[in-house]
Amino acid sequence: MRAPLHRIRLGALVLAVIFVAAVLGYHALGYDWLDAVWMVVITISSVGYGEETDSDASIKMLSIAVIVFGLSAAAYTIGGLLQMITEGELERALGRRRMTRDIERLKGHVVICGFGRMGEMLARDLKSMRRLFVIVDNDSERIADAETHRYLCLSGDATEEQTLREAGIEQASALVTGLPNDAASVFITLTSRNLNPNLQIIARAEHPSTEKKLRQAGADRVVMPALVGARHMARLITRPSTADLMELVSETSFLDYELDEIAVPDDSKMAQVTVRETEAHRRHRLLVVAVKEKDGNMVLNPDAEYRFKSGDVVIFMGHTEDIARFRKEYGL
């Protein structure tokens, strides 16, 4: 898009300069300001003003120059516009404007910085979970790839504060840095935390030494792909069945089962109710896998007398429709 757009901008600038210079020229030759503007308009537009054989030679020379250079600049500008239309760039430009408006209306979305392999897989999973997200990348090819998937995306440098603002960082609920550059991840994390103190930030790190820096910059979670991959491969060697189970349950859903988490708010009917009293297993066929308490303590496989408290996050496993029915019963 840069070539035709640059052509339009350059042509429009040259045309504006010619217009102003011509108005000044006609005014210097004795025309008042309104007549000078009129002469330039009818000359460039080729409307014509009749044969003026008694015109001064200097006026004729100026008119010739205005016609030649003015029409050339106009043709150059129109050519750029036609190039945009024929190459589909105009449609894409209008599409980007619509996309910008859509991004401005988002709230509670996820900002994905980087659309490489990790960013692409993350976007696919978030889409399957029906989560709203915006992709930020400064690579035009990657942005074009994101557009083919009809993702909301923004072309720009995620380390720039203005780019993050345009991605709606102040209204977002989470940000993920999927960049292989640790320095950029630290900078993005620091900037994002300053712009949105309540933002959940998940940062990618390539080197173990970067984890501490990312947490100091404001990251809530730090993921090291190499470490995660190595641990999974070790588990496949030493405990293959366990690895298979973990891989299975980590999928979004399998055999109509899924893992889901439910936060217990202050006014919830679940607050101060025991696992037994919810009849999660007997009535809803749900397995209470774990409870993450407000202080961060993780209770695995809570017993039947465990009493849910406000601020708890309960992790269930069960059929998708059973989880939905449980949520509806407790207004969650």
Per-domain residue ranges of the chain = 2-86, 106-227, 253-329
CATH topology for 253-329 is Alpha-Beta Plaits (3.30.70)
- Sign of the dihedral through C-alpha 172, 177, 182, 184: negative
Number of Cα atoms under 13 Å in the Cβ half of residue 269: 9
Determine phi and psi for 144, rounding to 5 degrees: -60, -40
pLDDT of residue 282: 84
DSSP single-letter state for residue 77: H
Q: Percent of the chain scored above 90 by pLDDT? A: 29
pLDDT digits (tens, 9 = 90+) for 231-285: 889 988 998 888 877 777 666 555 567 788 888 888 888 888 898 988 888 888 8
**Rounded Cα gap, residues 32 and 278, in angstroms:** 88
Whether pTM exceeds 0.75: no
CATH architecture of the domain 2-86 equals Orthogonal Bundle (1.10)
CATH superfamily of 106-227: NAD(P)-binding Rossmann-like Domain (3.40.50.720)
pLDDT digits (tens, 9 = 90+) for 210-239: 999 999 999 999 999 988 889 889 988 998
**Pairing verdict, β 133-137 and 287-292:** unpaired
- Contact of 306 with 274, CB cutoff 8 Å: yes
Nearest to 46 by CA among 27, 65, 67: 67
